[in-house]
A = this chain, B = another copy of it.
Amino acid sequence: MTQVKRVYGFGKAADGANNTEGNKDMKYVLGGKGANLAEMANMGLPVPPGYTITCQSCVEYYDATPAAYPAGLQEEIDQYTAELEGKMGKKLGDANDPLLVAVRSGSAFSMPGMMDTVLNLGLNDDSVQGLIKQTQNEAFAWDSYRRFIQMFSKVVMDIEGDLFENALTLKRRARGVQADNELTADDLRELVGEFKSIFASNVDGSAYPGLLVDGKPAFPQDVGQQLRLAIEAVFKSWNNRRAIDYRRMEKIPDDLGTAVNVQAMVFGNKGDTSATGVGFTRNPADGTNEYYGDYLINAQGEDVVAGIRLTDPIADLKKNPEFAAAGAQLDEIFDILENAYSDMCDIEFTIEQGTLWMLQTRVGKRTAKAALKIAVDMVAEGAIDKKEALRRINPAQLDQLLHPQFDPNKSYDVVAKGLNASPGAAVGKAVFTADEAEAAAEMGEKVILVRWETTPDDLHGMIAAQGILTSHGGKTSHAAVVARGMGKPCVCGMDALSIDAKAKCATVKGTDIVVRDGDIISIDGTSGSLVLGSADLIEPEVSGDFGTVLAWADELRTLGIRANADTPEDATLAREFGAAGIGLARTEHMFLGERKAIIQDFILSDDDRTRAEALEKLAQAQVEDFLGIFEAMDGLPVTVRLLDPPLHEFLDSPRELEVEITRLEAAGASNDELVPKRKLLAQIDSLSEMNPMLGTRGCRLGILFPQLYGIQVRAITQAACELKQRGFNPRPEIMIPLVSVDVELEILRKETEDIITKVFAETGIEVDILIGTMIELPRACVTADEIAKHADFFSYGTNDLTQTAFGFSRDDVESKFMPQYLERKVVPVNPFETIDDGVIKLVDAACVGGRESNPKLKLGVCGEHGGDPDSILKFYELGLDYVSCSPYRVPVARLAAARATIGV
């Protein structure tokens, strides 16, 4: 039986030889940090030696009940600790020359700040004396010890951090100093004592019997025990609340586990020849090819990140004579790393008394803008090819660039920050209730709905608002989920905001800034910002690096991208964004506004003449609609969906009408006034349905009211013929929605063809018109072989298919239980955002069945999933011909489609 290897060493042996067992390709074994430390060691860069406990060990830890180290792990750790002591020539806990180590988490995917780290481990009442001996710096030694106790208490023992900060503050006050580094060695030694007391009185001894000394908990003096507790704490931090939330948001699997890196400490806080810093090989904000980063003299790593002290730009490092050598070496390392990784790297380093140490590197995170520039530059530099460039750009991130944004050339005073829950910026009057939002929106005013947190009761207000701002709730809160579903900007969890809905105002905590009902505010859901007043918004544009990358994507991709657009304006926008046609033009959107009255006449009249007149008016209006859209999409296909929603959607609410009648009755209104209203109510009631989603809609309308589909088909054909005569090349595709049975399509196709033939005869012009159907019901999927016999194309309506496959009414589900379902991981992602694998099985069955009986069948998707990169990959794998999405998502889809061809 082969022994499982659970620990990998890295760094130079005592004799200077590289003694590293891992490399950068082992991130699923060693985590990103561990793999990259090994890689840097292999490259000969100065890495403090250490070892990495594998991610699999963490998984094994959780697999045990109760959680526990797998057999043999402790022995392996002990062996590597001994080896590390050998490399360093120091021993953990040694009273003369102690080895101090850092214990750091590091999973396969970067989860910054989500998991735990313990520094300076190995200090105890004995070894602190050794540290004093070695460094001849008593203050440093005691400061290291108190930092260790503080960090260990918080991270490993979960003791409230404020207890230690308060003690520190009291000590500074007592000594009359401003900064921690003004405290003397004595002060710090006293603090160590005080911290140990805090530790002792806040640890539950019964939970940690190993920490009991004379029956009372005490800070552990056994360095082996320190190490074991710290490693376990890192394991445990894999499943802390914020790590779980982060993984859900970033779609990182839960079963990877985290590695633990135990590494010899180096110190950036050993005086003015020491420093610590972070850097990027290029500018991660805009992508400029320059060394980028910050450093702090005489500091430990967390000081840089914490932002308490003002950092210096990394370019200044070399200007400081103390750091000239280290600075020059760092520049070289930047180049070495970028060459090795062929990508922008992000690094952490420490200079200990003039000597540079590399503590971490990884491929760096960057903004969407930077991602594009770096990719384009690196292709120009010959560092990567276009495929690699495309592989590196996350299409979802590009969404940032495709919503209205605060004009970046202006500056804004961000009064508070929250979570960037749904991208895009919005400006409007602050309102504090959903009813007010709705009322204001009905008056034509733009509003931002400001709530503590939203609930399903606020839905109408969310629909009415330009954007949503909440003070509570995370990225899977009701507000966040629903706003993303609606495609509305949303900032949530803005803790700094104290909202008084009754008084209709919100105060930014700790300031005198108050947002009152009706005040204009601006929010940016991409950054999570709140700005007072009206920010200038700019519309997105696809040009420059973005345009270049998309052109590469177009060269590579095989999946067509169309847009969902119902107006000539949307069609034009879609074309600008690179859509190769319209995949879904919803005709019901053309029946709103002033035409609503006409369709009401049709629905409610029982007089054939009135109905015929209404139809004639609609027919004429529809011809204009189609002329506009077909002209905008000259030469490109336009899929027009015939009327889909239940007719009663065009009518007034029966409940409101009945309330109105009741009111009129009570006020003694005349029968002349009441009778027509009562009649109208009866008519509307007779059209109402229990479950309109599953009722008399889609092609069922076409079967019941052939005249309705008739005028639409006539208008499409007439518009196409007229444009052809005027020299255009219209390419209409008529789509019959909600087919569940082949006979529906057979009947309606026949009726459609009859009308087309008639119009051709009348106009003397012929145009190629495809006739197809939307596949959006499970029964259609499993009987696609029959349906395909009557279809030129299938377009998957994945929204409705998701609704019927799951039995989820989107209107009800997203607001009522989807947040809890995501929270409890009942579903891994919102199936209305990324297509579900069960639904994909139905789509797959329909593709197979459809193509089997009709090999020429064109296959596309026109649900909102058509704009979601993860879904696009699945659609590509099914071999679809195209996806269709909202115009603003077209660039994202183009990139995602290209990436799908290289399997990402």
Contacts and interface: CB of A to CB of B under 8 A. Distances in A.
A812 interface: yes
Contacts of A744: 826
Given A658-B659, A667-B666, A809-B695, A826 B777 contact: no
Contact of A690 (B693, B807, B824, B836): B693
Interface stretch (A151-159, A340-348, A383-391, A735-743): A735-743
Contacts of A804: 694, 778, 804-805, 807
Nearest to A739: B807
Given A744-B826, A805-B777, A820 B704 contact: yes
A662 interface: yes
A46 interface: no
A708 to B, nearest CB: 14
Contacts of A824: 703, 743, 747
Give the number of copies in the complex.
Answer: 2
B778 A842 contact: yes
A147 interface: no
Interface in A827-864: 827, 836-839, 841-842, 845
A451 to B, nearest CB: 15
Nearest to A653: B655
Given A783-B838, A804-B805, A811 B658 contact: no
A841 to B, nearest CB: 4
A812 B695 contact: yes
A455 B606 CA distance: 15
A691 interface: yes
Nearest to A837: B783
A42 interface: no
Interface in A42-68: none
Nearest to A655: B655
Nearest to A682: B457
A779 B809 contact: no
Interface string A692-704: 1111101010011
Contact of A841 (B689, B696, B777, B782): B782
A456 B685 CA distance: 10
Contact of A691 (B655, B811, B820): B811
Nearest to A743: B826
A682, A809, A824 — most chain B CB neighbours (10 Å): A809
A667 B838 CA distance: 55
A778 B693 CA distance: 16
A595 to B, nearest CB: 24
A696 B806 contact: no
B691 A693 contact: yes
Nearest to A782: B841
B778 A690 contact: no
Contact of A812 (B654, B694, B817, B838): B694
Given A456-B686, A694-B693, A806 B827 contact: no
Contacts of A690: 692-693, 809, 811-812
Interface of A: 455-457, 654-655, 658-659, 662-663, 666-667, 682, 685-686, 689-696, 698, 700, 703-704, 738, 740-741, 743-744, 747, 776-779, 782-783, 800, 803-809, 811-813, 816-817, 820-821, 824-827, 836-839, 841-842, 845
Given A703-B817, A779-B806, 20 more contacts: A655-B655, A659-B659, A659-B662, A666-B667, A689-B812, A690-B693, A690-B809, A691-B694, A693-B693, A694-B812, A695-B813, A695-B816, A698-B807, A700-B817, A740-B805, A740-B808, A747-B824, A783-B837, A783-B838, A783-B841
- 6 closest cross-chain pairs (CB), A and B: A666-B666, A778-B778, A694-B809, A691-B809, A695-B812, A779-B838
29 contacts: A457-B682, A655-B658, A662-B662, A666-B666, A666-B667, A689-B816, A690-B809, A691-B809, A691-B811, A693-B807, A693-B809, A694-B804, A695-B813, A696-B812, A696-B813, A704-B820, A740-B805, A740-B838, A741-B827, A741-B838, A777-B806, A778-B778, A778-B842, A779-B807, A779-B836, A779-B842, A804-B804, A804-B805, A804-B807
